[in-house]
Amino acid sequence: MGSWCEFAWQADGPDRLCAERQGSTRLDCRVEGGDFTEAPAPLTDELVVCAYNVERGLRLDEQLAAFAHDAEMPTPDVLLISEADRGCTRSGDRNVAREYARALGMYYVYGVEFIELPRMVGPSGRIRTRCEHGNAILSRYPLGNVRAIRHERTRSWNSPVQRLLRVGQPRFGGRVAVTADVRIGERLLRVYSVHFESGHLRFGPRRRDGYRRAQASELIDDVAGLEHGAVIGGDMNVVGFLDSLCDGEAHEPTTAALAEAGFDDAHATLSPSERVTTDDGLVIDVIVGRGVRFVESGVGRRDTWGGLSDHLPVWTRLRW
């Protein structure tokens, strides 16, 4: 086993994780984490990893009910969450990642992407006071070597017009990947919960793809030299991936970069139509791995998960 430093689990988190550094994509934020396991999980050489954009946790209770009752999707051993609110009006002032971990009986770590600023209207409702928004890793097994990787190349969401009018999505910060090693006995598996840059009307496709590819490249560099397996999963916002899958050519830049670095696509055996994860028919939620073998993979059924978020969860069963 490689070097291991288990996360210092916290009984409760502070009101805010981030120092307020305005006007910057570079935030100074603590990583939050807690342990809600009741007993050690049994040792295994097979894990179920699920990635889910929870859309802020606007329908948190219904999402948790779906995890409890969906017989079609195996119970996750590791859950990679993106777009999790922390203390935001729009999601009931809840700590979404922590509530997920408590309900599912898991360890969790959470890193902040953005300080969300007050707004009267926006894609997901009103925000009265500043709050935090980010990514999380949940696991039935202990987590260590935890980091929040704040991407070097990330666009600013700090629009003076949006701040003044309190509309849209005014925020401080930038894209973050949360990473940790999962420890099963004496074996480790590195996991990354990601939320790559999204599109914007002001950006042409080349510039949007440039952000995403650069963010993927940072993680590829982070994995270099790692002696154990690694899995990257989450909302990669790869809007051109469906076209790439349909014509059989690896021309979507972000997924192509990951493939060139030796990462296998967990859902490669599914047809493009079986892989759609969003309401507008895109395939942007992706799990890839290196040094692992994917045994079985799927996408949450729309009749169970549709409407609980603007994304469907994706899952895979793997060995390493």
Residues 205-262 have pLDDT tens digits of 555 689 999 999 999 999 999 999 999 999 999 999 999 999 998 889 999 999 999 9
pLDDT tier at 19, thresholds 50, 70, 90: confident
Query: Does residue 64 form part of some domain?
Result: yes
Core vs surface per residue 283-303: b (16+ CB within 10 A) or e:
bbbbbbbbbbebeebbbbeee
Sign of CA dihedral 138, 109, 228, 270: positive
Structure tokens at 75: 């119970």
Q: Is 185 a member of any domain?
A: yes
Structurally, the chain folds into a number of domains equal to 1
Cβ count within 10 A of residue 178: 30
3 state SS of 167: coil
Label the pairing between strands 78-86 and 143-150: unpaired
Question: Distance (Å, rounded) from C-alpha 318 to C-alpha 189?
Answer: 11
Is residue 22 domain-resident? no
DSSP per position, 34-95: EE--SSPPPP-SEEEEEEEEEEETTTHHHHHHHHHH-TTSPPPSEEEEEEEEES-GGGTT-B
Residue 237 CA: distances (Å) to CA of 38, 144, 240, 283, 304: 35, 27, 9, 8, 23
At 122 the pLDDT is: 66
Q: Are 194 and 235 in contact (CB under 8 A)?
A: yes
Assigned domain for 204 exists: yes
Specify the pTM.
0.94
Q: Is the pLDDT of residue 311 over 90?
A: yes
In a domain, 17, yes or no: no
pLDDT band with cut points at 50, 70 and 90 for residue 185: very high
AA identity, residue 27: L
With a CB cutoff of 8 Å and minimum separation 6, the contacts of 53 are 81, 82, 83, 195, 234, 235, 285, 309, 310, 311
Name which of 142, 234, 215, 222 is nearest 182 in CA terms: 142
Question: Quick check: 202 pLDDT over 50?
Answer: no
For strand 18-19 and strand 28-29, is the pairing parallel, antiparallel, or unpaired? antiparallel
Q: What are phi and psi of 164, to 5 degrees?
A: -65, -45
> What digits encode the pLDDT tens for the residues 23-32?
577 889 999 9
List Cα–Cα distances, 69 to 57, 66, 220, 285, 296, in angstroms: 18, 5, 36, 22, 20
Q: Looking at the domain assignment, is residue 26 inside a domain?
A: no
* Mean pLDDT confidence for 287-294: 98
Task: Return the minimum-mean-pLDDT range out of 115-119, 136-140, 193-197, 205-209.
Answer: 205-209
How would residue 10 be classed by pLDDT, with cut points 50, 70 and 90? Answer: very high
- pLDDT tens for residues 213-224? 999 999 999 999
Reduced 3-state DSSP string for 266-283: CCCCCCHHHHCCECCCCC
Q: Report the percent of the chain where pLDDT is more than 90.
A: 79
Average pLDDT over residues 10-32: 84
Which domain covers residue 190, as residue numbers?
33-319
pLDDT of residue 207: 59
**Residue 4 vs residues 8, 114, 138, 185, 281: alpha-carbon distances, Å:** 12, 29, 18, 12, 41
pLDDT digits (tens, 9 = 90+) for 36-45: 999 999 999 9
What average pLDDT does range 88-109 have in this prediction? 97
Q: Residue 289 sits in a domain of what CATH number? A: 3.60.10.10
pLDDT at site 26: 81
Query: Nearest 5 degrees, angle CA 44-CA 47-CA 101?
Result: 105
Residue 43 in any domain: the answer is yes
User: What does the pLDDT read at residue 201?
Assistant: 40
CA distance 267 to 194: 17
> Is the predicted pLDDT of residue 70 greater than 80, yes or no?
yes
Q: Is residue 14 part of a domain?
A: no
